[in-house]
Amino acid sequence: MSARTLMPGPLVVASHNAGKVREITALLGPYGVEPVSAGDLGLPEPEETENTFAGNARLKALAAAQATGLPALADDSGLVVPALGGAPGIYSARWAGPEKDFTVAMQRVHDELQAKPDAVWRGYFVCALALGWPDGLCDTFEGRVDGLLVWPPRGTRGFGYDPMVQPDGHVITFGEMEPQAKHAISHRARAFAQLVAACLPR
């Protein structure tokens, strides 16, 4: 089944993460949609009760679409470290604690890898994007980018785990990269490219 087309007009960006809202707004730039963030609309932050990125993205998109009567785009993403059994994965935000402190979250990734002498210091970011509609229809798209996990973290750009992820083929971390360079290769940009192909009119 093909995805529903998104026409120019308002689109809720159903995220309470300022870093994501900034990146999604930049990616949407050329497409004639008018992004409004969940935070600006005062929408609640739904509990992420699903056990997959796509499931949580869908839950966030549909909650926002049903609350506003507008199409809504949600993002559920995270860092997957195979040597840690896939952690933090869908718990990536929760590892930062109630203070949303990613110094703490990155330190925990470091400490758990350090505790396994043979661990491979690699991981990948996953981004699931869900475009949900007030009538309950929802399409999801997923992107991934692999890299080396570095310590100490480097760079002050980006957000979240960016300073400890050095994408393959690059010598700088996402935390050191210009936003446009991140958009050229990121998990979010890759998921977004699929959404564009499926949902935006040509």
Ligand X SMILES: O=P(O)(O)OP(=O)(O)OP(=O)(O)OC[C@H]1O[C@@H](n2cnc3c(O)ncnc32)[C@H](O)[C@@H]1O
Binding of Mg ion at residue 93 (CB under 5 A)?
yes
Q: Which residue's CB atom is positioned nearest to ligand X?
A: 160
Residue 140 interacts with ligand X (CB under 6 A): yes or no: no
d(CA 25, CA 142): 18
The contact pattern for ligand X, residues 103-132, with x = CB under 6 A and - = no contact, is: ----------------------x-------
- Please tell me whether residue 92 binds ligand X under the rule CB under 6 A: yes
Can you give the length of the chain in residues? 202
Query: Quick check: 58 binds ligand X (CB under 6 A)?
Result: no
Which phi and psi angles does 146 have, rounded to 5°?
-100, 150
Q: Determine, following the binding rule CB under 5 A, whether residue 67 of this chain makes contact with Mg ion.
A: no
Interface stretch with ligand X, choices 63-71, 75-83, 147-155, 193-201 (CB under 6 A): 75-83
Which of 4, 16, 110, 183 contacts ligand X by CB under 6 A?
Answer: 16
Residue 56 and residue 52: Cα distance in Å, rounded?
6
Mention every residue, 6+ apart, whose C-beta is less than 8 A from residue 32. 8
* Residue 135 appears among annotated catalytic residues: no
Does 17 bind ligand X (CB under 6 A)? Our answer is yes
116 annotated as a binding-site residue: no
SS3 of 186, please?
A: coil
Any known ligand binding at 9? Answer: no
Q: Is the C-alpha dihedral spanning 97, 100, 104, 108 positive or negative?
A: positive
Enumerate the β-bridge partners of residue 77.
127
Please list every residue from 36 through 55 that binds ligand X, using CB under 6 A: 45, 48
DSSP at 152: S
Please name the residues in contact with 25: beta carbons below 8 A apart, sequence gap of 6 or more: 13, 35
- Pair 10, 34: CB distance under 8 Å: yes
Which residues here bind ligand X, judged by CB under 6 A? 15-17, 20, 45, 48, 75-78, 92-93, 102, 125, 158-162, 174, 186, 188
Which residues here bind Mg ion, judged by CB under 5 A? 93
Residues carrying an active site annotation: 76
- Report the binding-site residues: 15-20, 47, 76-77, 159-162, 182, 187-188
